[in-house]
Amino acid sequence: MSRIYDDRPCQLGEGPLWHPERQELFWFDILGRTLMSRGQTGPRIWAFDELTSAAGWIDRDRLLVASESALWVMDLESGARDRVTALEADNPITRSNDGRADPWGGFWIGTMGKSAEKEAGAIWRYYRGEMRRLFPSITISNAISFSPDHRFGFFADTARQIVWKVALDPLHGWPRGEVEVFLDLSSTGRNPDGAVFDADGTLWLAEWGSSRVAAYGPDGAFQRAVTVGGRHSSCPAFGGVDFGTLFVTTARVDLSAEILATEPQNGCVFTAEPGVRGLPEHRVIL
């Protein structure tokens, strides 16, 4: 079972990131245009002018942050932000969504229409100064994650209820070959959202609308699920001193006033101890 880790409710909690050097959890409220954190110094919050959704850690004091129009380097102490590169800045209907650093120091970031317009989004990768579109025609980009052996990258289109995997070049991490379906949840009614791997190669997938994070083995077989106290579980992250804690963001969006009145915990960040260990998030190399 899960318990509440942070009780500040988000309209659309997303992008949890455990900073291994700071021992601090960061996450976003996309619709609230804020970055939030909780660590040894207590809770903190930063406000943005744009919808902002995902981050990777560069060093102890800087994050790479994805907004609806760009990637930014953000100083955690001063709050100063420096633009790194554009992200669909010429397309006003899209915004950033799910993202994660890869084992080579690159950063994968998905986009989507602000109203989930069909196939308006894409999966991008920023690597050593280059921003390259990897996969177009994505409606709701999610589940960006990387197998512990660094052989495969994963991503989802929540609207299609599919998680794909693609082989990665071992030298620089670019996709090679065709994508293949890893999970097709269309027959189950489950909606794949954010995902992260544990150290044993099991994919932990938040399933939007299902109040859970489900574990799928390397063969795609369902293993078990951790129940989350929010209906819209959006993204998991492993953290804690030994990476044995599973953090899960949730959302309040699209829930009725009656549900929110009786279930005010929707939108909070939850934590659980699933009995497995994750791995430190990869560092972004600029």
Residue in the block written with tokens 């972004």: 284
Sign of the dihedral defined by the CA atoms of residues 10, 14, 15, 17, in that order: positive
Residue 150 three-state SS: coil
pLDDT of residue 213: 98
pLDDT of residue 149: 98
pLDDT of residue 40: 86
Mean pLDDT by 10 residues, the chain (286 residues): 95 98 98 96 96 98 98 97 98 98 98 98 98 98 98 98 98 97 97 98 98 98 98 98 97 97 98 98 97
pLDDT of residue 104: 98
The C-alpha angle 242, 243, 245, rounded to 5 degrees, equals 110
pLDDT of residue 171: 98
Give me the active site residues, please: 193
How many C-alpha atoms does 275 have within 13 Å on its Cβ side? 5
pLDDT of residue 31: 98
* Domain extents in the chain: 3-272
pTM over 0.95: yes
pLDDT of residue 191: 98
Q: Which residues pair with 101 in a beta bridge?
A: 107
pLDDT of residue 1: 78
pLDDT of residue 41: 84
Assigned CATH for 3-272: 2.120.10.30
Q: For the chain, what's the residue count?
A: 286
Residue in the block written with tokens 């959890």: 25
